[in-house]
Amino acid sequence: MRYVDVDTLAFNDKNGNQYSVKDIRPMKKLNTGDTIKVEEDMEIDEVVSRPEYYGNDAEGLSYLVVDHNAEKLVENNFDISKLKKLKIPISTEK
């Protein structure tokens, strides 16, 4: 559903085959609700499903935390264990 409003583009590979791909989805600006220390083997989907954040069955909102920490994640090759802290945004999508 997050990509419904994103434009679809035509991509041509080196063999002349054309594929439909989605354009880059702009990330929303979110407010930080909490900042937590990254612990060994921490998984974002487990964090977001905690009652103090987004609650049971909220794993689908993991992208909010990934988007909110995107810059640090990219700098660390998407290795969450290399982060010291993880910002948890206030969800407007519940």
CA angle 63, 29, 5 (to 5 degrees): 65
Please give the pLDDT value at position 70.
93
What are the pLDDT digits (tens) for 10-51?
Answer: 999 999 999 999 998 888 889 999 999 999 999 999 999 999
Question: What is the C-alpha separation between 66 and 42, in angstroms, rounded?
Answer: 13
pTM exceeding the 0.85 threshold for the entire prediction: no
Please give the pLDDT value at position 92.
67
Q: Kindly report the average pLDDT of the chain as a whole number.
A: 91
Share of the chain above pLDDT 70, in %: 96
Every domain of the chain and the residues it spans: 27-89
